[in-house]
Amino acid sequence: MELLPDFEVIRPANVEEAARKGALEHARFISGGTDLMPNLRRGLDAPQILVDLSCIAELRQIEKTKDGLRVGAGVTLQQLISDPYIQTEYKVIADTVTEIAGTTHRSSATVGGNLCLDTRCQFYNQSEWWRSTNGYCLKYRGDICHVANKSEVCRASYNGDLAPMMLLHDAQVELLSAEGGRRSIALRDLYQEDGAAHLLLRPGELLVSVILKKLDGYRSAYRKVRVRGGIDFPLVGVAMAIRGSGAHLDDVRIALTGTNSRPIILEGTAELADKRMDAATLKLLIKLVRSQSKPVHSTFTPGQYRSKVVVNVARRMVRDLLGMEII
């Protein structure tokens, strides 16, 4: 680990001031810091200003809305687990959060931080001396992606756990600009398929909240595969919501993490609606998973292995959510 760089900490009184300060040159937002601080110690960034969001009340609110739920970006992961309304009406969100990192991390880590998690790669998340010896990569100071040499964009993977489940809830995010203007966009539009620039945020733009719709009549779950049962980021993660009875599918939604440079919600699942979940339907579902997930050797496990894992996880989740024997 490297020594932390020198920086000034600014504690704004409200979100408007935070956005203005976040637009300053060499400034970064920080709240829980569970992802940012390890990166600073590895020499992956050297901001001169840290804008501390942890004391802004607006960012820490959980509110019911007409169609669902509004969660402030500064709400900690432990708050999500402990909130009685979320435990009752959005239990799958709380269950998903219990799979993230460890207990002490969840007490500090926030919803906004997890949604805006930096992409990861075995050639990037290393110490400065390691990276300088092995050659810098496209994500930081280099001109080549070490896991896909011919790629014109970075192939580091996105490994956040909250985003795929929230995508199933048709999540919208509220963003605040440095000029004070607010806009809402679909959570899926926050990301792009470039590990070096995966967040489509304007300079100083602050994620204020995420708005979730209820999934009435769906059975849903999130499962991840990781090296250790605690703490580790997912090698792959699958969020799934199914509506139907017995083996009959009315609708299915599937989102993935750990396979691409952004969290993805599978396209084409409408083809599975109003079908019986038999071998043919399962084959079509697996085809959608395989064609849209693009894992590469960004972890110590090969991309081909993770391709098989994500298919097997999806297959088992369909079986379990429908209460079926192995298809």
Could you give the angle at the alpha carbon of 181 between the alpha carbons of 33 and 49, nearest 5°?
Answer: 30
Segments forming the whole domain that contains residue 294: 219-322
Q: What is the pLDDT of residues 179-237, one digit of tens each?
A: 999 999 999 999 999 999 999 999 889 999 999 999 999 999 999 999 888 789 999 99
Residue 310: which of 230, 239, 242 has the closest Cα?
Answer: 239
Q: What is the pLDDT of residues 133-157, one digit of tens each?
A: 988 999 999 999 999 989 999 999 9
Could you give the angle at the alpha carbon of 195 between the alpha carbons of 69 and 50, nearest 5°?
Answer: 65
Q: Tell me whether residue 274 is in a domain.
A: yes
Task: Write down the pLDDT at residue 326.
Answer: 57
Query: pLDDT band at 5, cuts 50/70/90?
Result: confident
Asked whether residue 86 falls in the same domain as residue 186, the answer is yes
Q: Which helix (H) or strand (E) holds 71?
A: strand 68-72
Asked whether residue 242 falls in the same domain as residue 209, the answer is no
Q: What is the CATH number of the domain that holds 224?
A: 3.30.390.50
Q: Which two tokens stand for residue 100?
A: 């993230």
If you average pLDDT over residues 111-118, what whole number do you get?
97
Q: Domain boundary at 192, 213, 234, which?
A: 213
Residue 30: which of 5, 17, 47, 13 has the closest Cα?
Answer: 47
Task: Read off the pTM.
Answer: 0.95
Q: What is the pLDDT of residues 234-251, one digit of tens each?
A: 999 999 999 988 888 999
* Position 177 pLDDT exceeds 80: yes
Q: Domain boundary at 198, 213, 228, which?
A: 213
Rounded mean pLDDT of the chain? 94
How many domains would you assign to the chain? 2
Q: What is the CATH number of the domain that holds 82?
A: 3.30.465.10
